[in-house]
Amino acid sequence: MDKTLGVQALIVAGSLLISASAALAEDNAVDWKALQQAKVSLQKGLDAARKTGKPISGKFEVENGVLQLSTYTASKGKYFEVIVDYKSGKIAKTEEIKEGEDWTHATEQAKAMAAAKKSLSSAVSKAVGANKSYRAVSAIPSLEDGKPVGTIVLENAKGMKTVTEKLY
């Protein structure tokens, strides 16, 4: 009986490990080595994306094995994913978000930014300024108790940390 329980525990543990790995892959996680390729900061990427609307979120991610700087913008009731070239800072691609999970996220982020008095870019700059050896990996706004805040993920060679900046 003890061997059966042990085998079942190993199977469960293995399944959890596989699930966690899949979740990381789905998150398109960026490691420090990949982030070092980027010549453009997240702040500059958000600023570049302003050409297509108000930046409502931004992140470095790995898509199909390639690093990219993805931002969401809002303009006239529409949402866009704007890919900024992480080497030049120029807009590489703009695509309207019309449905699905991306549209749901963009809608929530736009609500938070509509209540914000500070830009997401300024929140990222403040977070990076207070954490000198770190680079910003992502900036996602949300409403906490009805007030807009930006959740900024920072990374350096030693690891990651998350800070929250007020957008009001």
pLDDT in tens, 138-164: 999 999 999 999 999 999 999 999 999
pTM equals 0.82
State the CB neighbour count (10 A cutoff) for residue 76: 5
- Provide the pLDDT confidence category of residue 83 given band limits of 50, 70 and 90: very high
State the CB neighbour count (10 A cutoff) for residue 69: 26
Tokens at residue 71, please?
């931002």
